[in-house]
Amino acid sequence: MLYLKNGYMIDPASGTEGYYDILIDTESGKIAQIVPQGTCAADDVPGQEALAGSENMENSGTETDRESAGVIDLYGQIVAPGLVDVHVHFRDPGFTYKEDIHTGASAAAKGGFTSVVLMANTKPAVDHTDTLAYVLHKGKETGIHVYSCANVTKGLQGRELTDMEALSRQGAAGFTDDGIPLMDETLLRAALKRAAKCGKPVSLHEENPTLIQNNGVNAGKAAAHFGIGGSPREAEISMVERDLRIAVEEEADLSIQHISTKEAVELVRQAKKKSRHIYAEAAPHHFTLTEDAVIKYGTLAKMNPPLREEEDRLAVIEGLRDGTIDMIATDHAPHSAAEKAKPVTEAPSGIIGLETALSLGIRELVDKGYLSMMELIEKMSFAPAKLYHLDAGYLKEGGPADLVVFDPKKEWVVKDFASKSVNSPFTGETMPGVVSYTICGGKVVYRG
């Protein structure tokens, strides 16, 4: 058994928050008890003999001693459901020099994530049950829950649908061709119908390549700075408008990935009034940075869709605040230093994000009054888990013992990544929100 004492619990599924003690059955990986602080029966608490006579946990040996005795005093830190990220790239198979499933899982655990959903633009792509089986098998070797989407189309070519039914039976969490938009409207409609029958969502990367001269840089001040055409906002807006219309007509679960423009946020807001099947995600970089960051950091702030203008950043925040945007997802996208050292028109797009996401949410959304801590945790755990039908994102007796413990006030400096890559514009910044423990399946998988 593992006894978490004196933590301030936040559970977005039930709306419960307050000081609670949590008893975990480490053998079953389930939560055995959640009781008001100090009311756990003495017989249920492990290591009581070692702690007898102590006024408080600080007088009962080192933290390691207490943990080995099965007791962790959280000293008022927040304990919440393990975070859930439904949009990550672990680059395995095919690009493991950037990241692999083990290093990606380590980065996730360090950031407080206990469940992740991998994107399927690997090499080979996850368009066949054999590749999906490989990814899921490797995921089981990590300390966290690793799920994976499968591709919508074979080879990411946008011409022929995969065997979505077989991939769903194999364990695909959803379907996406992330990184490449689905340009064929008829094909998208058919994909939505088949995914709906499988009970799985479709997640779409919304950028029309015919409108883009140079991806990863907004067609505005940033593009002008580099003397390039860039990526105009219409590339996202036009695709979002089309795809929302189709999803509303088909009554199929559709998630708009990494939304970046104020117009797209408004389109989602209006579509949600017509259908309960519409979802959207925002990446931390899109509610934190603008295209000014690309001018300052160069390729380290190059991403698809690109960072936009201040009005867009604020619109994304408002979308999170009013529920238009359901979830926060990092789009963790590792690249090697050599790749990011290329000229802005040649370097790949994307930044890593698993290790900074919680801190950015605290700094940019909670500390600035846009969201409560409960609302932030809901968008980083329960909401994404609900869309992808994952048994995660909540704290309940008998439920999974997947938790994150963090101090929202304590600060840390962004460095020494667990990820294999270091492509982040936030390196060197001081941020609030230190993860002390990540617990998955009742086991401590990260200790800060």
Q: Give the Cα separation of 403 and 440 in Å (integer).
A: 6
User: What b/e readout covers 211-245, taking b as 16+ CB neighbours within 10 angstroms?
Assistant: bbebbbbbbbebbeebebebbbbbbbbbbbebbbe
First to last CA, the chain: 21
The rounded Cα 48 to chain-centroid distance in angstroms is 38
Structure tokens at 309: 């203008």
| b/e per residue 69-84 (b: at least 16 CB within 10 A) | bbbbbbeebbbbbbbb
Q: Is 331 a catalytic residue?
A: yes
CA distance 176 to 315: 25
Q: Could you please report the per-residue DSSP string of 404-424? A: EEEEEEEEEES-S-SSS----
Q: How far is the C-alpha of 92 from the C-alpha of 79, rounded, in Å?
A: 31
The residue whose two tokens read 């029309």 is 208
Look up residue 414 and give its two tokens.
């962004």
Closest by CA position to 198, among listed 238, 150, 133, 147: 150
The answer to whether residues 294 and 306 touch, using CB atoms and an 8 Å cutoff, is yes
Q: Is the distance from CB of 420 to CB of 100 less than 8 angstroms?
A: yes
- Identify the CA nearest to 91 among candidates 259, 328, 332: 332
Catalytic residue among 92, 331, 402, 407: 331
Just list the catalytic residues.
Answer: 331
